[in-house]
Structure 1
Amino acid sequence: MGDAQIIPLGTRGKPGRGRRQTASSAARSLVDRGGDSAKDAAHAEVRADRADATERRGIPAADLLDAVAGGAREVLGANWERRLAEWVALLRRRLAGDYQVDEFGFDPELTARLGLAIARPLAEKWFRIEVRGAENIPSEDGVLLVANHSGTVPVDAIMTSLVVHDHAARHLRMLAADLVFTLPFVSEVARKGGATLACSEDAERLLRQGELVGVWPEGFKGIGKPYSERYKLQRFGRGGFVSAAMRTGVPIVPCSIVGAEEIYPMVGNVPALARLLGVPYIPITPFFPLLGPLGLVPLPSKWIIEFGEPIRTDAYAQDAADDPMLVFNVTDQVRETIQQTLYNLLVERRAVFF
């Protein structure tokens, strides 16, 4: 007994055969003829279990629809179905060419429904713009609105256009620099948004048509000035905007904007690169170009936009626009009005970002 050889069961005396993965012929012979049906049933059960598991891992259709509806309510408001239908109708009409633009390329429908709609959350949530004196904007006829310019990037023009539309129910026809109309895509967007070339001829034509025209006389000197000179108005040019107002007899509404100076604090410039690219300046801010594209996000400064009382020009003689001294005096009056208002607003402002 002590010398007996131990043979593992089921291996027929051959080591390692007990690890085979398939059944032996003897085992297979024990399965009856109905085994194929049992195997098919087992496979079907496995497939059903896998389908159930896949369905459990996915999002039910009802939950997905609820999520989409919730997102639509968050973005479009409680009446999101009606607004979505309006957007679809708008898209259908525009694809069919059923819309109008004026002789300057202005598209009021696209501006109100898309352009200003995109800018509105930025004005309300990011800059938290406080509007004062909107009642000083005449509700009809030609008006010339004159504002200070700042911010490195002309965001203040877009915000002013939005404020005028929402508080005075009028479109602001902006007079833009030549550079705007030489840039691809930007030129088309500017035209669609109501901008036109900053020249006396276009300004006078719009004013005679009863439009509200906006001008920023500081130009690139205003938006491109260093942060150390913030809220110090630059030269207002030769007073061409005053001449246009006098020739058409429209009032001038001074507009003072506080808050735009801080969105991109300009601490430096790269003039050599600017000349190479054909632009007025290449700004350096505390975050650009150091942080790359992230540095292009404007800082959330608190804005105040105040519209002053209109300055009448219809009392002047017909040839008043040809008197350089008179034009200079009126220009200086508008400039000083805006400058003093800026100082007063800065005194009232408690903090830049709150």
Structure 2
Amino acid sequence: MADAKVIPFGEEPRSRRGGKRARGRGSSSPSPSSSAGSGPHSLSSVPDQPDGVEDSMPNDAPVPEQAQSEPTSEPTEPHAAAPEAEGPATAEGATGDATGDAAESGGGDWDRRLAEGFAFLRRRVTGDYEVDEFGYDKELTDQVLMSLIRPLYANYFRVEVKGIENIPSDGGALVVSNHSGTLPLDGLMMQVAVHDNHPAGRHLRLLAADLVFMLPVVNELARKAGHTLACAEDAERLLQRGEIVGVMPEGFKGLGKPFGERYKLQRFGRGGFVSTALRHGVPIVPCSIVGAEEIYPMIGNSKTLARLLGFPYFPITPTFPWLGPLGALPLPTKWTIQFGEPIPTDGYPPEAEEDPMLMFNLTDQVREQIQHTLYKLLVQRRSVFF
């Protein structure tokens, strides 16, 4: 007889256990004696052992207890394999439940949106909404106007905002920005930038030129969006209420400047915005916008058409008016809007607004800070469109 070795039941190869389970499901079970004599755990089938083991186990030695108790442990094997058989069904059931929950959640979300939409329409029809003394409709701006402008802001111009923390979380402030782009889209993009990125959810109230409020439809939409006339009286009333007020001192001089003078700031007027800030002690936040200069490269100006239409200029670009309405589509440039360090004005005496030298110095300081930031952003820009 070859050398024998006793193999504990727990170390039995899986392939042999599988064959044993198949026999266990038959109509009859093998007896312990037959299992010990000719089954998979027969001593004759066990590999040879090292020398010395054969002498210690005679041929007529009884079968070890571990081999005899083998059939009694068979019922535990199907239970061990049960998780494998039930695994796919359980996973399928879990997936089905998750899908059902997602569908139910999606349906509830759509129901909520529809309910909010119908409630909004009901308020508009019945007049159950509020506007302030300037005509600003906060609900319409947040839910409709911003939603219409946001795709242009996020997907078309891909605006990147920097320094939004420089706008105070409460109280009034005056945001002073450069102005460019032939059409005043930079003001709208700046308004969305503050609305969507400021941690306190603040709104920017822009001061607009007289022409904006002379155009049909545009006049009403500008009022609803919170714009007001660019005059000291309106600006002061907004600042007294603790609003963030935006002003672009270049006006039409910056908006309609030739493409060859892009990113070169024009004259900032007489510094009326500085006087307003000093009077109310609010900080001045310089803002620099890169990307707007290239949306409509203005290579010419038809002064005759401008006079006939009552416009300050009539732009001629590489695409307009040659391509008709298609030429009015702005180029998809990459924008960056950076809000600079605020310039405090609350430390000056009340009579400071009457000091022309102080007014000039503060105006020049704001202008230089915006110009310096423009140059810095232009150096960092990889491409006009990326």
| TM-score (ref. length: structure 1) | 0.77
Q: Look up the match of 2:122.
A: 92
CA distance in 2, matches of 1:270, 1:252: 36
Question: Which protein has the larger Cα radius of gyration, Structure 1 or Structure 2?
Answer: 2
Once the two structures are TM-superposed, the CA of residue 307 in structure 1 deviates from its matched residue by 0.4
Q: Look up the match of 2:37.
A: none
CA distance in 1, matches of 2:180, 2:114: 37
Once the two structures are TM-superposed, the CA of residue 323 in structure 1 deviates from its matched residue by 1.1
Matches within 5 A, 1:123-272: 123-168=153-198, 169-272=201-304
Q: Look up the match of 2:343.
A: 311
* Residue of 281, 289, 296 corresponding to 2:328: 296
Once the two structures are TM-superposed, the CA of residue 182 in structure 1 deviates from its matched residue by 1.1
Amino acid at match of 1:306: Q
Stretches (4+) displaced over 4 A: none
Question: How has the CA–CA distance of structure 1 residues 77 and 148 changed in structure 2, closer, same or farther, with 3 Å as cutoff?
Answer: farther
**Structure 2: where are the runs of 5+ without partners?**
1-102
CA distance in 2, matches of 1:157, 1:172: 10
Q: Look up the match of 1:335.
A: 367
**Structure 1: where are the runs of 5+ without partners?**
1-72
CA distance in 1, matches of 2:222, 2:131: 13
Are residues 1:350 and 2:382 paired? yes
**Higher RCO structure (Cα 8 Å, ≥6 apart):** 1
Q: Output one character per residue of 1:197-216: Cα deviation in whole Å (capped at 9) or x when no partner.
A: 11111111110110000000
Q: Output one character per residue of 1:5-56: Cα deviation in whole Å (capped at 9) or x when no partner.
A: xxxxxxxxxxxxxxxxxxxxxxxxxxxxxxxxxxxxxxxxxxxxxxxxxxxx
CA distance in 2, matches of 1:91, 1:220: 38
Q: Output one character per residue of 1:99-129: Cα deviation in whole Å (capped at 9) or x when no partner.
A: 0000011111101111111111111110011
Question: How has the CA–CA distance of structure 1 residues 313 and 77 changed in structure 2, closer, same or farther, with 3 Å as cutoff?
Answer: farther
Q: How many aligned residue pairs are there?
A: 280
CA distance in 2, matches of 1:189, 1:260: 22
Q: Look up the match of 2:45.
A: none
CA distance in 2, matches of 1:264, 1:118: 21
Q: Output one character per residue of 1:242-291: Cα deviation in whole Å (capped at 9) or x when no partner.
A: 00000000000000000000111111110011011111011011111111
CA distance in 1, matches of 2:327, 2:240: 42
Amino acid at match of 2:123: R
Are residues 1:287 and 2:285 paired? no
* Residue of 308, 313, 337 corresponding to 1:276: 308
CA distance in 2, matches of 1:124, 1:177: 26
Other structure's SS at 1:272 match: helix
Identity of aligned residues (%): 68
Shifted more, 122-131 versus 338-347: the winner is 122-131
Question: How has the CA–CA distance of structure 1 residues 178 and 77 changed in structure 2, closer, same or farther, with 3 Å as cutoff?
Answer: farther
Other structure's SS at 1:205 match: helix
Amino acid at match of 2:195: H
* Residue of 70, 75, 80 corresponding to 2:110: 80
Once the two structures are TM-superposed, the CA of residue 77 in structure 1 deviates from its matched residue by 11
Once the two structures are TM-superposed, the CA of residue 78 in structure 1 deviates from its matched residue by 9.5
Other structure's SS at 1:256 match: strand
CA distance in 2, matches of 1:123, 1:80: 25
CA distance in 1, matches of 2:378, 2:163: 17
Are residues 1:109 and 2:139 paired? yes
Amino acid at match of 1:106: Y
